């Protein structure tokens, strides 16, 4: 049998178990997400019958045949781009992404992405992410800055993906929001789905719809700019990684991010007047940059068998914003998370 086909004999011990669970127990190096993707794509047969539902339970003995396609060759253009490398070894690389940079090619962005630069720098990346997303384990928005990890091989990619699934990855973000927080710390837990009114936005969903999203937040400082202008410096920790999760959740509790045109209620970003421009740079507004920075990333290195943790300081625009805000500090102290 060819190397990209795997045979699994079903015994009486496997009956009435989910087919994806059976395979996962046999193939430890294959991530659950990757396995479910293979099944739904029609790459699994049971007694020569294609199975496309990972949750199906087997009722009789037989043979499972799983086809694992060989990685496709990249059709992307390697580009010699400037990369802010925080850490690198033969298995993975951690980058500090600039705001305005796209993570991987997609609709309207085929060049000048981090992946294009990594293909030139690393030569080899994990193929699990697909043709357009080699090495991509997770993403942050185009206008968000901060830390990202990319995998150079499939074993590392599978391990990191499982850590994300098990919520053991440490991810913290620094952000500036409109208004004072009603609670100095808390956890936002809602379901999230794509907005029915605007497909480019996410929306809070009913409990029986969408996917669960959990964000922990705590206040670092508050800034009393004027009678109407209040700003908060907040840190967030993600327990799930949904699209636009922090931006949506902070808007949901009444504290949209500075500069976030998509999720700001009542057009907060348009309320800035010339004489209030001291607390946010002109460039910050022009680029539609929201005040969100992925400042901490921690994970278990599967080959080195140790925990790694990285920190990223404010980029120039957020540092200038932070310095200007310091003159209007309300509490003037750091509130550490327990």
Structural contact between residues 134 and 119, judged by C-beta atoms closer than 8 angstroms:
yes
Over 70: is that where the pLDDT of 38 sits? yes
Over residues 184-201, the mean pLDDT reads: 92
Strands 145-151 vs 292-301: parallel, antiparallel or unpaired: parallel
Task: Give SS3 for 313.
Answer: coil
Is CATH 3.30.200.20 correct for 170-328?
no
Boundaries of every domain in the chain = 5-67, 85-165, 170-328
pLDDT tens digit sequence for 269-283:
444 444 444 445 443
Q: What average pLDDT does the segment 134-154 reach?
A: 93
Please enumerate, as own/partner, the contacts of 53-57 that have beta carbons within 8 Å and a separation of 24 or more: 53/19, 54/18, 54/19, 54/20, 55/18, 55/19, 55/20, 56/18, 56/19, 57/15, 57/16, 57/17, 57/18, 57/19
301-336 pLDDT tens trace: 999 999 999 999 999 888 888 888 887 877 544 444
Helix (H, G, I), strand (E, B) or coil at 132: coil
- Catalytic residue (choose from 14, 141, 153, 174): 141
Average pLDDT of the chain is 85
**pTM (2 decimals)?**
0.75
Place of tokens 């053991």: 168
pLDDT value for 128: 65
Share of the chain above pLDDT 90, in %: 56
Supply the pLDDT for residue 71. Answer: 58
The alpha carbon of 298 is separated from its chain's Cα centroid by a whole number of angstroms, namely 13
Instruction: Please determine whether the domains at 5-67 and 170-328 fall in the same fold group of CATH.
Output: no
For the cut 90, the answer to whether the pLDDT of residue 173 exceeds it is: yes
Residue 274 has a pLDDT of: 41
Work out the average pLDDT over 20-32. 83
Query: Could you tell me which residues come within 8 angstroms of residue 171 by beta carbon, excluding any fewer than 6 positions away?
Result: 237, 238, 241, 294, 296, 297, 298
Condensed to tens digits (0 to 9), the pLDDT of residues 208-259 reads: 888 999 999 999 999 988 787 888 999 999 999 899 999 999 999 999 998 8
Of 327 and 86, the structure prediction assigns the larger pLDDT to: 86
- Per-residue pLDDT, averaged over 101-105, amounts to 89
Residue 141 is a catalytic residue: yes
Please give the CATH architecture assigned to the domain spanning 85-165. 2-Layer Sandwich (3.30)
pLDDT band at 32 (very low <50, low <70, confident <90, very high): confident
CATH says 5-67 is which class? alpha beta
């Amino acid at each position: 049998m060819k190397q990209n086909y795997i045979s699994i004999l079903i015994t009486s011990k496997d009956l009435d178990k989910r087919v994806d669970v059976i395979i996962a127990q046999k193939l430890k190096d294959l991530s659950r997400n990757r396995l479910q993707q293979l099944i739904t794509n029609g790459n699994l047969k049971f007694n020569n019958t294609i199975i496309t539902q990972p949750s199906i339970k087997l009722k009789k003995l037989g043979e499972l045949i799983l086809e694992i396609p060989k990685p496709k060759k990249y059709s992307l253009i390697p580009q010699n781009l400037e990369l802010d490398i925080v850490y690198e070894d033969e298995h993975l690389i951690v980058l500090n992404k600039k705001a305005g940079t796209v993570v991987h090619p997609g609709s309207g962005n085929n060049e000048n992405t981090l992946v294009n630069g990594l293909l030139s720098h690393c030569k080899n990346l994990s193929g699990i992410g697909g043709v357009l997303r080699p090495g991509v384990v997770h993403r942050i928005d185009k206008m968000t800055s901060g830390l990202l990890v990319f995998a150079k091989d499939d074993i590392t990619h599978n391990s990191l993906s499982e850590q994300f699934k098990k919520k053991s990855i440490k991810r913290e973000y620094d952000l500036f929001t409109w208004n004072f927080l009603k609670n100095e710390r808390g956890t936002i837990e809602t379901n999230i789905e794509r907005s029915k009114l605007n497909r480019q936005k996410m929306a809070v969903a009913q409990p029986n719809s969408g996917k669960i999203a959990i964000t922990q937040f705590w206040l670092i400082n508050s800034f009393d700019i004027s009678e109407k202008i209040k700003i908060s410096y907040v840190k967030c920790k993600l327990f799930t990684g949904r699209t636009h999760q922090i931006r949506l959740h902070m808007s949901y509790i009444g504290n949209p991010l500075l500069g976030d045109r998509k999720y700001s209620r009542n057009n907060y970003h348009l309320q800035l007047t010339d004489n209030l421009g001291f607390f946010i740079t002109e460039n910050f507004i022009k680029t539609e940059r929201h005040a969100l920075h992925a400042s901490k990333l921690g994970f278990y290195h599967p080959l080195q068998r140790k925990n790694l943790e990285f920190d990223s300081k404010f980029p120039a625009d957020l540092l200038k914003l932070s310095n200007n805000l310091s003159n209007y500090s309300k509490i003037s102290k750091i509130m550490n998370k327990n």
